[in-house]
Amino acid sequence: MQSQIKHIHQQLISKQISCVDLVQQRLDLLKQNSHGSVNALLDANALKQAQAVDTKIANGENIGLLEGIPFGVKDVFMLQGTFTTASSDFLKQYKSAYTASAIQKLIDAGAIPIVKENCDSFGHGSSNENSIFGPVNNAKDPSLVAGGSSGGSAVNVAKDYTVFSIGGDTGGSVRQPAGYNGVYGLKPTYGRISRYGLMAYASSTDCVGPLAKSVEDIRIVLNTISGKDVKDQTTYESAPIDEAVLADTGSVKTVGYFKNLLENDAMDASIKADFMATLEKLKAKGIEVKPLDFIDAEA
């Protein structure tokens, strides 16, 4: 899928859509959703920020790539003046006194937070059923779980309620719900993104991670929120990822996969078929596809 961020950016600067209308449309979808992905809407502040973007455009000022783009925030990130509950009864009345570094960087770039998103309580869970706000239902099949703990974040992206969302991943809490709902989710290298303002699950392995519908949007968000932060001593400076890097597959010579997964009857037949088709495409590009055992030393 093409970059939604770039597409919406072009719509905004060409005045095909106003930022207020864009944000209001997404808020309306969030209000109507029956997937349980919303803990709190940030509508008043979001519409105020959207109006400021429209004013800049009307005055002929340039706007940044992320300016006016509505996004979601997993409810374990501090956002000053908003309730940050971690989907727990213990913190249901807690208001953030400050904003997490990663979220602040996005706000500084002009992106607009519009929703605090449902998650497993304190991030403890993998199905997003452990929440005082109730379970999050899968975006493709509401009778299934959304995965966790960032289930609300993944569903909101999958249903186009948000353009992208920010989750937290310790042992799969971004990647697993992303996979369950058919979107992209990244757990970056530890320390690439500041953890300041993220409620800790396991500080030595917690990572902030973006969810989006395209790898390009993941790249844009990742570059924006990466970098050293004096408030998190584990962070470091990292070079931005260039767009051309994503298109360059020439350096990939071999791709390995665990054959045990394909031999497991628990894997859905359609997913298995899609996976095999992808392997065939890799082979057609001259890339060696190598089946591995779980105990294979080369894994």
Distance CA 231, CA 194 (A): 8
Mark out the alpha helices in the chain (DSSP H runs): 4-13, 19-32, 43-58, 101-108, 151-158, 175-181, 215-225, 243-247, 259-263, 269-284
Distance CA 162, CA 4 (A): 10
Eight-class DSSP state of 122: G
Eight-class DSSP state of 170: S
Q: Which of 87, 121, 127, 149 is catalytic?
A: 149
User: Which residues are paired to 256 by β-bridges?
Assistant: 290
Burial class from Cβ neighbours inside 10 Å (0-12, 13-18, 19+) for residue 247 reads exposed
Mark out the alpha helices in 33-184 (DSSP H runs): 43-58, 101-108, 151-158, 175-181
Eight-class DSSP state of 136: P
Annotated active-site residue 253? The verdict is no
Distance CA 220, CA 242 (A): 9
Distance CA 96, CA 277 (A): 47
Distance CA 111, CA 102 (A): 12
Q: Which of 173, 194, 214, 226 is catalytic?
A: 173
Annotated active-site residue 173? The verdict is yes
Annotated active-site residue 150? The verdict is no
Distance CA 243, CA 145 (A): 34
Catalytic residues: 74, 149, 173
